[in-house]
Structure 1
């Protein structure tokens, strides 16, 4: 028997995934009538019924399910093989991270990553950098996001959803670390980071609404806000991932025992390369980096 065309098999896989000829057409960027013709031709070629109609849904038959599992896996293997060829050809890794994460987590441990991936040229940037990367560079991004959704272009993985906490340097301003209620923050200079709404949202989650704290210095990003707190210039509202070293060194102390969490650190990368060994290795290393606890 002559094998069905790859186009027809691809249409079959996508319809099986989406249970919709119309959505399959959108995903394949072709007219849905063309998808229907491919499915009909495939059923005639194989001599079996692959789908049954359930309202607007296209549901795989029992034979269709068995065939779909194997054909889908075949396409996955082709995608993986192509991705592995692609990623081994590139050998350049550009990591773009929010400034606080780039400076306080990645930069001190960059030699460890370079030792782990000795065949790769690793470039570290902040997400604020305007850099034209080489087309061969695999672009990885690390950002503080609210539940992003993976798609055909980029995949996301949660690294950590840390507590958001107010901190100060006890060596410089010992009286600041003695407060016991959130309301007392309003009498202290608070360092404004990259977004005032970040602070207001944290206050509202902790029962303080429509009240503005005493304003301290204004900093363009969380990294500089933390540095200003270490110098005793005010209270910084940050997350526990970024200040592990400062806690360990005694440069910063948590002011209140709160458990407020919103958003999280996500790593993202090109979906076709997401499951290749180099990116799996990088993702595992990043998870260990952010989830390691203070001694």
Structure 2
């Protein structure tokens, strides 16, 4: 059996993950020169350059990227088999998740996850963009782009947007349009688009990646356009728009997971008006070749249960 320099493999995996010799050295508690020596030894053995420097930044070559994918999986299998034999098995999983989903839905539920599966060591990798599905990024993902044939996917949620405002602004809306706040039902269409347009609208740019795109889609669902006289206030992220709504600054469009379990969800009123489906569908994604790993399956089962119990899965079927 002809093997590469085995001591160099975890060093290479750390550099590939950190994109830095110095950070990898810190993680491994060795010197940077020792890291550099191990990488050079491995490159000499393989006859390929694994990294390339672009200015101040370090990047994997294409050969390095392919090697990192294969080596990372092999090292995890070795670690898992060793821990099982020692009787100290812990499932260490990195989950890449959108920041808003993590903050408003996932993080409040982590104590329940830790209680149900104390052997699961979950590390969250926050993402503001659609993540690259790769072992170098995380072990599993919550994504809206199920486009890699190397991965398997569980449906979590089909996103829909509906208007919300603060309790105080809700009272003002009811007074102006002559609506009884006690009889209004969130799933009704008692408030028309024209009536909402008479109040400040808080827009989130990142949903449709254009100014007022969320409200344009919401009005379009009613066969209308935003009236020219409507006052719009713009925010880059839904978290910001929702905070502005909390402080009575206007009406925001939000989704189900943003108001799912947080105690402060009582600060908001879901208005009795129509909703719009954005087209984003959230999936839990894991590499098909890693489907037997205990940690991934534990997390998969728990997410499935939680999305059903919180109502997200029912909205996924809407």
TM-score, normalization by structure 1: 0.58
| Alignment deviations for residues 144-189 of structure 1 (CA, whole Å, 9 cap, x no partner) | x36x34512x332210224321111123542236571022222221
- Equivalent residue for 2:109? 109
- Equivalent residue for 1:273? 290
Q: RMSD in angstroms over aligned alpha carbons? A: 3.4
How big is the shift at 1:238?
A: 1.0
- Equivalent residue for 1:174? 171
* Unpaired runs of at least 5, structure 1: 1-81
| Alignment deviations for residues 231-252 of structure 1 (CA, whole Å, 9 cap, x no partner) | 2222111112221236885211
Distance 1:204 1:247, change over 3 A: farther
Alignment of 1:70-81 (within 5 A): none
Aligned partners of 2:263, 2:250: CA distance in 1, in Å? 16
TM-score, normalization by structure 2: 0.55
Q: How many residues align?
A: 206
- Equivalent residue for 1:163? 160
Q: What SS does the corresponding residue of 2:106 show, helix, strand or coil?
A: helix
Alignment of 1:64-143 (within 5 A): 85=77, 88=80, 91-128=91-128, 138-143=138-143
Moved >6 Å (runs of 4+): none
- Equivalent residue for 1:9? none
Distance 1:192 1:86, change over 3 A: farther
Contact 1:159/1:266 (CA < 8 Å) preserved in 2? yes
Contact 2:140/2:296 (CA < 8 Å) preserved in 1? no
Q: What SS does the corresponding residue of 1:269 show, helix, strand or coil?
A: strand
Contact 2:202/2:250 (CA < 8 Å) preserved in 1? yes
Contact 1:99/1:223 (CA < 8 Å) preserved in 2? no
Alignment of 1:1-295 (within 5 A): 85=77, 88=80, 91-128=91-128, 138-143=138-143, 145=144, 148-152=146-150, 154-176=151-173, 178=179, 180-193=191-204, 194=206, 195=209, 196-209=212-225, 211=227, 213-216=230-233, 218-245=234-261, 249-261=265-277, 262-274=279-291, 276-293=293-310
* Unpaired runs of at least 5, structure 2: 1-73, 82-89, 180-189, 312-318
Distance 1:115 1:263, change over 3 A: same
Contact 2:170/2:269 (CA < 8 Å) preserved in 1? no
Aligned partners of 1:111, 1:247: CA distance in 2, in Å? 15
Aligned partners of 2:137, 2:280: CA distance in 1, in Å? 28
| Alignment deviations for residues 98-119 of structure 1 (CA, whole Å, 9 cap, x no partner) | 2221111111112222333333
Contact 2:96/2:124 (CA < 8 Å) preserved in 1? yes
